[in-house]
Amino acid sequence: MPRTHPIPVPGRRAVRRDREDPCRSDSAAHLRDHLDGMRAVLLGRFDLAGASLGRVVERGRPADEPERLLRSAAAALMLGNVTEARRAGARALAAVRTLGAGALAPRALEYLAYAELRSGRHQLARTHAEEGLRSARRAGFAASALRLPGAVREQRAHLARAREIAELTGLAEHFDSPVHLLPCGDRKRVELARALCLEPRVLLLDEPVAGMNAAERARTADVIGTLRAELGLTVLLVEHDMGLVMRLADEVTVLDFGRTIAHGTPDEVRRDPRVLRACLGTGTEEEDAA
């Protein structure tokens, strides 16, 4: 009789890899969309960012991994979808605490604080922010209360870092003063200093000089420039003060009623006729006459 050979069957390792491929590819696509969306935001291409960040939010809804949920919360915040940001942030915080991934807790609380702030829930936003600052500490409550050596060393290190940040933001002389006694410009810099305590890689500043006088605006501009130089931060600045924008920005994107009308270096944008027309009203008389 002729010898028969069994039909080859894929090995166990190959079968396992095939089963894992959809999850891996979905996770990779989620990360790729997140990076593409954030890169488009930094380049001022909000038309391209919306599609990528929208896919990040959609893919994050059925997820239970903290990193994917955190990316979804960040994407939802960039899109202005506060409800989705709060949902993803809360799920990320629950997943972090369930899995014991305490290092990710400050990020989840930071996104929750931003979402609540955008919703107008200022007290809840402050609660999340303060909890985020506390969760960044390694020493527990009992160790801090008992003044154990490790907790004392950590407290000294945090205090030293806080003084460094106060020095960078021009608040060193007010370090021991109650915030509510400070003038408007100094209170705004306190908010900036608190954000820096979380050691962000990207700093979003939404109208940081609103309500300030000329001297306070100039001082805040100096502080932002110093932070960029000293900490190497990427700063995304949303501001109507064109003088401040032209002084600080490497690239400028101008929006007119939510539509991008110009993007480029400060010198290029300053000379763009569409910007002059939208911001200064020049050219309207010629158009009306035509």
| Domain ranges (residues) in the chain | 14-136
Determine the pLDDT at residue 290. 45
Determine the pLDDT at residue 3. 47
> Where does 200-272 have alpha helices with state H?
214-231, 242-248, 266-271
Determine the pLDDT at residue 229. 85
- State phi, psi for 110 to the nearest 5 degrees: -65, -45
Determine the pLDDT at residue 285. 47
Determine the pLDDT at residue 109. 73
Rounded to whole angstroms, the Cα distance separating 161 from 85 reads 30
Determine the pLDDT at residue 128. 64
Rounded to whole angstroms, the Cα distance separating 290 from 287 reads 5
Tell me if 195 sits within 8 A of 130, measured CB to CB.
no
Determine the pLDDT at residue 228. 87
Determine the pLDDT at residue 16. 43
CA dist list (Å): 175 to 130, 166, 168, 170, 262: 18, 7, 12, 10, 41
Determine the pLDDT at residue 36. 81
| Per-block mean pLDDT, blocks of 10 residues, the chain (290 long) | 44 43 62 79 75 81 77 81 82 76 70 72 69 58 56 73 87 87 87 84 86 88 88 87 88 87 90 84 51
Fold held by 14-136: 1.25.40
Partners of 244 in the β-ladder: none
pLDDT in tens, 79-102: 888 888 888 888 887 887 777 666
